[in-house]
Amino acid sequence: MAFLRSSIKFIILISVLLSFSCSENTEEDASPQNETIDGDGVPNQDSTNEEGSGDENTDNDDSPGNVLGLTMDDWKLNGFTGNPDSNAVYEDNVLEAINSDYDSYNDPNYFYTDNEWTYFKCYRGLGGSANSNNPRVELRELSNGNNAYWDGGSGNNTMTFTVKVDRLPQDTDNDGGVLCFAQIHGPTDTVDDVIRVQFIGDENQTTGGVRLKISGYITEVVQNSSLIIDDGYQLGTSYTFTITYNNGTVKLFKGSEEIFSEDIGTNTTGNYFKVGNYLQSVQGASYTGSHGIVGIKDLSITH
């Protein structure tokens, strides 16, 4: 009997010890919620939070439209679909034509980004809109998703942007290159382009100095000639410009410096801003692969 009682006590002691040990191991092995193990065997905390995990966000933050802060309510993209050397087709609204949006659209032929600049690439020889045979890859201002039209005789009509022109095209005469990177467009039955802001230089130029050219109604009609400013502008260098058209006066600023001002002399009510890459002096030119490249960032408009 003594032996039996000793055996029973031994069994009970072993059971208690095993139960205590299992309880301790369960707490030590419990992993934090959402913890995973990486390839090196090191625990990683899952990044899921109350707002949802990154995997649930399907927007492409690195798309050229998102980098520039574009929305379908504020801007439409005029440009091309297809390959520039074979089947390019001009579209007055590229995203609508291909049923896409700024979150996902990217085309290395025409519209792309390096995550800082949004680039507009346009080739000579591709034709253009119904009103111009000069090709363009550029943004056209909208208001709540519809074409914007505003009165330059009143209000605060201002567009500010930073631009970097990396390449000029070859013009039709093969003796120079010029492109427009910003403009105010007006009603075609009166002033058409109120102002076009351009860089002019050599054909296919990619480095070195260029001149600023101000064209459109404000110089060609009001001042009887385009205005060319030779002030040390360089390709591949960034410049911040502001265009205003308030109370009948058109102004252009480089940074905070006013470099142009002129009263238009007539009231126009059908105005809108455009920015990007509009090739000049290539009307009727054949496709040769020659192109212009414009980078834009920090784009904003106020009215």
Task: Summarize pLDDT for 268-277 with one digit per residue, the tens.
Answer: 889 999 999 9
Of the candidates 190, 177, 77, 51, the one whose C-alpha atom is nearest the C-alpha of residue 136 is 77
Dihedral sign (CA 51, 300, 156, 255): positive
Of the candidates 226, 209, 208, the one whose C-alpha atom is nearest the C-alpha of residue 217 is 226
**Size of the chain in residues:** 303
CA distance 226 to 228: 7
R_g (Cα) of the chain, nearest Å? 31
Q: Partners of 274 in the beta sheet? A: 140, 183
Binned at pLDDT 50, 70 and 90, residue 167 comes out as very high
Around 214, how many Cα atoms within 13 Å sit in the side-chain half-sphere?
24
Place of tokens 């990154």: 54
Angle at 137 between CA 136 and CA 142, to 5 degrees: 105
CA distance 204 to 169: 5
Note whether 183 and 195 are within 8 A (CB).
yes
What domains, with CATH codes, occur in the chain?
A: 62-302 (2.60.120.200)
DSSP H helices in 183-235: 217-220
Residue 271 carries which DSSP code?
A: B
Q: What is the mean pLDDT of the chain?
A: 83
**Is the per-residue pLDDT at 147 higher than 90?**
yes
Q: 274-297, pLDDT tens digit by residue? A: 999 999 888 888 999 999 999 999
Q: Partners of 43 in the beta sheet? A: 37
Q: Which tokens go with 77?
A: 């993209």
Binned at pLDDT 50, 70 and 90, residue 267 comes out as confident
3-state secondary structure of 257: strand
Phi-psi region at 66: left, alpha or beta (left = phi > 0; alpha = psi -120 to 50): alpha
CB atoms closer than 10 angstroms to residue 16: 10
pTM, two decimal places: 0.79
Note whether 227 and 220 are within 8 A (CB).
no
Confidence (pLDDT) at 133: 75
Q: Which tokens go with 143?
A: 């208001």
Dihedral sign (CA 174, 179, 185, 190): negative
